[in-house]
């Protein structure tokens, strides 16, 4: 890849929480070089719809943007997202469309209605002790990128079919699929789309990977002070940001991930994980940086 392929690097820390605006959503951006990343609209509480609009209408040209969501569900382990159901979507784009169709009347790009579907609910673990008979037990089903890439880094992946507990990521990922459905066709969505020679590209990120790259243990990936954040930024080739004292981990995740993307975006191996087959790219997707 050309070293000047991208002119901007952005990262979005995400939230699947109920409601319209979320303290848990943060955007950061930087340009090539080593200048410190910066928060987009500091102090603003973003809605999920605003984030989608920013990507489509306001994001600078030639941006590599990382979204801290899972772009799909496990497929390869059982040959389907929802095995045993004839209407199970055949690929990730069909999955996004199914989430959107089931939730089109649900406000704020929420996705609760999707898992209320009687067949789909069988595959999820939900609050109130509701575990579908096809959930599978244990931590739940994982994608290949979670089995191979994240585990190799010392991470403890969480199944997107689990919607219970502080570490669950399923709600955020399902709401993120409504955003992917909206921005598809406006930016390339890797690896569901091939990497184009020019134009903006969106990838799935896992902010813990950026923290591990900066020398943090996977179990201590959250940066809650400017001192910790700036130590990590320097480790990924960035100048520090201004600030003292505490910082919320949503902004620190986004700031560090943007700087990390800038450091690694031009490495060919990140765009061609050896375990990512064409079928996996089409159905499950991949976490950028999980090798």
Residue with tokens 């090539």: 32
The predicted structure's pLDDT at residue 26:
97
- Assess whether pLDDT exceeds 90 at residue 50: yes
The predicted structure's pLDDT at residue 221:
76
Burial of 186: CB neighbours in 10 Å, binned 0-12, 13-18, 19+: middle
Percent of the chain with pLDDT over 90: 84
Least confident range from 16-20, 50-54, 93-97, 184-188: namely 16-20
pLDDT, tens digit (0-9, with 9 covering 90-100), for 142-189: 999 998 866 667 777 889 999 987 777 889 999 999 999 999 999 999
Task: Look at residue 97 and tell me if it is in a domain.
Answer: yes
Task: Look at residue 34 and tell me if it is in a domain.
Answer: yes
Comparing CA positions, the residue from 103, 37, 94, 35 lying closest to residue 65 is 37
Instruction: Spell out the alpha helix ranges (H) of the chain.
Output: 48-53, 92-103, 144-145, 151-152, 170-183, 207-213, 226-235, 249-264, 268-271, 278-283
Are the beta carbons of 47 and 60 closer than 8 angstroms?
A: no
Task: Look at residue 196 and tell me if it is in a domain.
Answer: yes
Task: Look at residue 124 and tell me if it is in a domain.
Answer: yes
In the chain, the number of structural domains is: 1
Task: Look at residue 21 and tell me if it is in a domain.
Answer: no
- pTM equals 0.95
Of residues 223 and 193, more confidently modeled: 193
* Domain assignment of residue 249, given as a range: 1-16+28-291
The predicted structure's pLDDT at residue 149:
64
Task: Look at residue 121 and tell me if it is in a domain.
Answer: yes
Averaged over 71-95, what is the pLDDT?
97
Comparing CA positions, the residue from 158, 156, 143 lying closest to residue 92 is 143
Averaged over 181-201, what is the pLDDT?
97
Residue 240, CB half-sphere, CA atoms under 13 Å: how many? 11
Comparing CA positions, the residue from 34, 29, 62 lying closest to residue 233 is 34
Are the beta carbons of 208 and 155 closer than 8 angstroms?
A: yes
pLDDT, tens digit (0-9, with 9 covering 90-100), for 218-271: 777 788 899 999 999 999 999 999 999 999 999 999 999 999 999 999 999 999
pLDDT, tens digit (0-9, with 9 covering 90-100), for 104-147: 999 999 999 999 999 999 999 998 878 899 998 888 999 999 98
What residues contact 122, with CB distance under 8 A and at least 6 apart?
82, 132, 133, 134, 135
Average pLDDT, the chain: 94
Task: Look at residue 22 and tell me if it is in a domain.
Answer: no
CB 118: neighbour CB atoms within 10 A? 7
What residues contact 285, with CB distance under 8 A and at least 6 apart?
70, 71, 72, 92, 143, 145, 191, 192, 204
Task: Look at residue 23 and tell me if it is in a domain.
Answer: no
């Amino acid at each position: 890849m050309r070293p000047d392929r991208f002119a901007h690097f952005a990262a979005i820390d995400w939230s699947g929480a109920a409601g319209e605006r979320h303290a848990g959503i943060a955007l950061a951006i930087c340009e090539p070089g080593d200048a410190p990343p910066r928060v987009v609209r500091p102090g603003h509480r973003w809605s999920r719809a605003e984030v989608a609009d920013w990507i489509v209408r306001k994001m600078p040209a030639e941006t590599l943007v990382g979204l801290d969501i899972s772009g799909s569900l496990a497929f390869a382990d059982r040959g389907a997202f929802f095995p045993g159901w004839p209407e199970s979507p055949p690929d990730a784009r069909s999955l996004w469309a199914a989430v959107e169709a089931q939730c089109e009347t649900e406000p704020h790009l929420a996705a609760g209605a999707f898992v209320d579907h009687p067949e789909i609910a069988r595959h999820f673990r939900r609050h109130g002790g509701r575990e579908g008979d096809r959930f599978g037990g244990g931590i739940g089903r994982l994608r290949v990128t979670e089995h191979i890439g994240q585990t190799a880094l010392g991470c403890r992946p969480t199944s997107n079919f689990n919607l219970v507990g502080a570490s669950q990521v399923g709600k955020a990922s399902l709401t993120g699929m409504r955003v992917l459905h909206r921005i598809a066709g406006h930016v390339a969505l890797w690896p569901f789309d091939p990497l184009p020679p020019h134009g903006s590209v969106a990838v799935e990120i896992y902010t813990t990977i950026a923290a591990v790259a900066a020398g943090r243990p996977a179990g201590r990936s959250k940066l809650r002070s400017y001192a910790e954040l700036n130590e990590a930024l320097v480790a990924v080739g960035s100048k520090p940001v201004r600030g003292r004292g505490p910082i919320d981990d949503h902004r620190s995740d986004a700031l560090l991930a943007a700087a990390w993307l800038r450091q690694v975006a031009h490495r060919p191996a990140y765009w061609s994980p050896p375990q990512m087959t064409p079928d996996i790219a089409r159905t499950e997707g991949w976490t950028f940086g999980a090798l």
